[in-house]
Amino acid sequence: MNNTNPLLLLDFYKTTHHEQYPKGITKIVSYFTPRMSRIEGQNHLIMFGLQGFIKTYLIRAFKENFFDRPLQGVLDEYTRLIDYTLGRNIINYDKIAQLHKLGYLPIQIRALDEGTRVPVKVPMFEITNTHKNFAWLVNTLETALSCSLWHPMISANVGYEYRQIVDRYYDESVDDDVSRSRALGDFSMRGQESCESAVTTSAGFCLSFVNTATVPAILYLEKNYNCDCTKEDVAFGAISTEHSVMNSNFAVDGDEVTLIKRLLTEIYPNNSFSMVSDSYDYWHLVNNLLPQCRDEIMRHHGYIGIRGDSGDPVEIATETVFRLWDIFGGTINTKGYKVLDPHVKAIYGDGITPLRAERIYQKLVQAGFACNNVFLASGSLSMQCHVRPDSLEPFTRDTFGIAIKATYAEINGEPLQIFKDPKTDDAHFKKSQKGCCVVAMRNGELECTDGLTFSQAESSPENLLKAVFRDGKMVREQSLREIRNLLHGGSF
């Protein structure tokens, strides 16, 4: 959608609100807030994706697909769509021409730092207009903001949840010099809703890990979060076979040993790689074929990852570690746990939910094995659903009750506090803030104080909502490294 006029990335009814607001309105202030949580035990949402959205849509898309286009072409497109759908003479198109002639986006966004774990009911960012003629523009942007940000934020939560599991079990069983950021990866791209969703959600996941199969996630992070994969650990991919490779070679060779040896000695003699191993008989490959390749494996400069792709992931992953130990042996680390010979590793690269990751690590530790003997990965299921022991709950915008609501206006220069508080909302989660807000750290947790005027909130020294965008330009940016360090307390 990056070639679309960004003023058309909205719901139809948004195009009509300019005429509906009170006469004399000169300012609207709205807040983006996770209002509740539908996930037991998760009452924080990670702030992430706003900087990427601003650069992608509010800067690049507005420049290329609105301000840099001829005004008449913009108006012709806009009026054609509205006139032939909502009806003629419904809205005044002068607002579009006025914005185009202004030449920049008269919007200010003040936000919490990305990488902050924000409690429900606390605003993540504030959006308002900086020019009195464009109050209508504030909530015109709501649709694109909302649909672009909820999923990357939840995916950042997903990655953080996995990282907490990794940290807990690595603390117990893995030497401290082993990187935790490489313990688990994201293999979800092919199962995502779209290429854009795959990119932004993988970027959110990469706040906690550096492994992803989603190549363009690195480009997205480099373009929007001041990082460079040639100079730092933005993210890494992995060399791996797939079933088309295994099956086509079997059709030629009549066996799997020939390809295994060719991978080890001819194709990747100096590189680690993983090999999907269940095309025909997984345990036959592990128990009988790998011993036939022992000499080549032990001379290989890297490791071969034996990757299961069917059956019970917990059973397959753990039993593979146990059998590789029986075949290739290993060492005991400083914490007293068994570590496989560095030439071999177990891999289960899809379908590993947080519940399964924890069960795999539990079984390994109980059997005396370090958890870094296995590399795990999340597939699209865990990036799109909260997985309970007996059910799946799809992630949506309503998982955290995310909404952007107007809470303050100025009419003919006079401040006006506005809010919603539906009596039919028995859970009271739809009740909005009232007036402008200050978000401050109190007793170790973020809290929101509302009921203020815009000038009061903006001038408050304790307000952690800081300007990041104003009048078409970024005024404050964060790097990927800064965000990771904030999220993980400097121990990424």
**315-337 pLDDT tens trace:** 999 999 999 999 999 999 999 99
Collapse the DSSP code of 37 into the 3-class scheme (helix H, G, I; strand E, B; otherwise coil) and give the result: coil
Residues 317 and 189 in one domain: yes
CA-closest candidate to residue 67, choices 390, 471, 433:
471
281 domain residue, yes or no: yes
Last residue of a domain, one of 340, 363, 393: 393
Predicted confidence at residue 431, as pLDDT, reads 78
Q: What is the mean pLDDT of residues 300-322?
A: 97
pLDDT tens profile 239-263: 999 999 999 999 999 999 999 999 9
1 domain residue, yes or no: no
pLDDT > 60? residue 1: no
| Strand-pair partners of 128 | 29, 108
Give the range among 124-138, 196-210, 356-370, 419-433 with minimum mean pLDDT. 419-433
Q: What is the mean pLDDT of residues 76-96?
A: 91
Tell how far CA 445 is from the center of its chain.
Answer: 23
Tell me how far apart the 2 most distant CA atoms of the chain are, in Å.
Answer: 84
Residues 343 and 235 in one domain: yes
Residues 418 and 326 in one domain: no
Collapse the DSSP code of 103 into the 3-class scheme (helix H, G, I; strand E, B; otherwise coil) and give the result: coil
Residues 178 and 260 in one domain: yes
- Between β-strands 374-378 and 344-348, what pairing exists: parallel, antiparallel or unpaired? parallel
492 domain residue, yes or no: no
Domain that holds residue 173: 154-393
DSSP secondary structure of 206-239: TTT-SEES-HHHHHHHHHHSS--TTTS-S-B---
| Strand-pair partners of 32 | 125, 404
Q: Contact 184/377 with Cβ under 8 angstroms?
A: yes
Q: Contact 199/151 with Cβ under 8 angstroms?
A: no
Predicted confidence at residue 390, as pLDDT, reads 85
Residues sharing a CB contact under 8 Å with residue 3, sequence separation 6 or more, in sequence order: 65
- Between β-strands 436-442 and 445-452, what pairing exists: parallel, antiparallel or unpaired? antiparallel
Query: For a pLDDT cut of 90, what percent of the chain falls above it?
Result: 92
pLDDT tens profile 104-117: 999 999 999 999 99
The C-alpha atoms of residue 363 and residue 275 are separated, in whole angstroms, by: 23
The C-alpha atoms of residue 268 and residue 273 are separated, in whole angstroms, by: 8
Last residue of a domain, one of 366, 393, 420: 393
Sheet holding 125-129, edge to edge: 414-417, 402-411, 25-34, 125-129, 107-111, 466-470, 473-474
Q: What is the mean pLDDT of residues 84-93?
A: 89
Last residue of a domain, one of 369, 393, 417: 393
Residues 47 and 193 in one domain: no
Give the range among 266-270, 412-416, 421-425 with minimum mean pLDDT. 421-425
137 domain residue, yes or no: yes
Instruction: Specify whether the backbone of 239 is left (phi greater than 0), alpha (psi in -120 to 50) or beta.
Output: beta
Rounded to 10 degrees, what is the CA torsion of 115, 121, 125, 128?
180
58 domain residue, yes or no: yes
305 domain residue, yes or no: yes
Residues 293 and 363 in one domain: yes
398 domain residue, yes or no: no
- When divided into structural domains, the chain yields a total of 2
Sign of CA dihedral 179, 378, 173, 341: negative
The C-alpha atoms of residue 131 and residue 440 are separated, in whole angstroms, by: 27
CATH of residue 217's domain is 3.20.20.70
Residues sharing a CB contact under 8 Å with residue 196, sequence separation 6 or more, in sequence order: 1
pLDDT tens profile 217-228: 999 999 999 999
Residues 112 and 231 in one domain: no
Q: Contact 346/306 with Cβ under 8 angstroms?
A: yes
pLDDT tens profile 34-64: 999 999 999 999 999 999 999 999 999 999 9
362 domain residue, yes or no: yes
Predicted confidence at residue 3, as pLDDT, reads 84
pLDDT > 70? residue 2: no
Rounded to 10 degrees, what is the CA torsion of 419, 425, 430, 436?
20
Structure tokens at 359: 């069960």
Residues 375 and 232 in one domain: yes
Residues 75 and 134 in one domain: yes
CA-closest candidate to residue 360, choices 310, 316, 304:
316
Position 354 confidence tier, pLDDT thresholds 50, 70, 90 = very high
CA-closest candidate to residue 282, choices 340, 324, 234, 239:
324
Residues 255 and 385 in one domain: yes
For the chain, the C-alpha Rg in angstroms (whole number) is 26
Residues 225 and 279 in one domain: yes
pLDDT > 90? residue 118: yes
Rounded to 10 degrees, what is the CA torsion of 405, 64, 131, 463?
50
Residues 389 and 460 in one domain: no
